[in-house]
Amino acid sequence: MSSGSQRFLAFAAARITEAEAAAVHPSRESGAAANMAAYIAEHAAAELLRENERLKLQVLTLQSKMVRAQQVSLVSAKVVDSRLKFREGRQFVEYKLQIETNNRGTLFVWHRYSTFRNLATTLQTKNGYRRKDIPDLPNKQLFGSLLSDRSIQERIGKLNQFLEVATNTNFLQWGLRVAQDKCVYKGRTLVEKSRQPQ
């Protein structure tokens, strides 16, 4: 055999050996790649689930904050009941207020007469509203019993007159606490002036 043929055969043998080695290594590499892909898929799915749960919780927290932050607006209010209460040996009357709101439905809260008197006084004086626009709530009675059914019913009538005006007068703006951390607000209502024909 000539030296050229030997070199050619040696070269061919080397190429065959390289080809065989290359055929063996890709199967190892592809097996490792497949194992790596399976591992990543398994752990990525678990990680994605954890991340998804974390994001859901975050969304719920933000939605809850938005609901709490959203102002509760008063649509209407009226006294619907009364009850006698005792505290520190003193007897007094509480009035059950039914409040219709824009986004929380109907709320009920108990307040003493003094709460309504303070609101009326505030609206009549501190906020600069015209006193004649807001019905007066009289002071405590000097004669007779404030705890009699007749007196309580008279007060309920006066409270409802006051609340009717306070909730329906466009320029009045005020708020009332319905829970330790919640208030309802009656905002000003803008009335559009009718356009004059030109």
Task: State whether 61 and 120 are in the same domain.
Answer: no
Task: State whether 62 and 112 are in the same domain.
Answer: no
Alpha carbons within 13 angstroms on the beta-carbon side of residue 56 total 6
Task: State whether 124 and 153 are in the same domain.
Answer: yes
Full domain range(s) for residue 48? 1-69
62 assigned to some structural domain: yes
Candidates 68, 65, 96, 71; CA nearest to 173 is 71
pLDDT at residue 98, rounded to an integer: 96
Task: State whether 134 and 175 are in the same domain.
Answer: yes
Span between the terminal Cα atoms of the chain, in Å: 117
> H or E stretch including 75?
strand 74-87
> H or E stretch including 77?
strand 74-87
123 assigned to some structural domain: yes
Task: State whether 102 and 42 are in the same domain.
Answer: no
Task: State whether 100 and 172 are in the same domain.
Answer: yes
User: Tokens in use for 84?
Assistant: 């006698």
Q: Among 34, 54, 69, which residue terminates a domain?
A: 69
| Alpha carbon distances (Å) from 71 to 66, 172, 182, 185 | 10, 17, 9, 7
pLDDT at residue 44, rounded to an integer: 66
119 assigned to some structural domain: yes
Task: State whether 46 and 95 are in the same domain.
Answer: no
64 assigned to some structural domain: yes
33 assigned to some structural domain: yes
179 assigned to some structural domain: yes
Candidates 109, 40, 43, 37; CA nearest to 72 is 109
150-162 as b/e, with b when 16 or more CB fall inside 10 Å? eebeebbebbbeb
Which residues does the chain have with pLDDT short of 50?
Answer: 142-143, 194-198
pLDDT at residue 60, rounded to an integer: 87
Q: Among 39, 69, 99, which residue terminates a domain?
A: 69
195 assigned to some structural domain: no
pLDDT at residue 90, rounded to an integer: 86
Task: State whether 169 and 84 are in the same domain.
Answer: yes
Task: State whether 140 and 174 are in the same domain.
Answer: yes
- Number of folded domains in the chain? 2
User: Tokens in use for 27?
Assistant: 């199967």
Q: Among 51, 69, 87, which residue terminates a domain?
A: 69
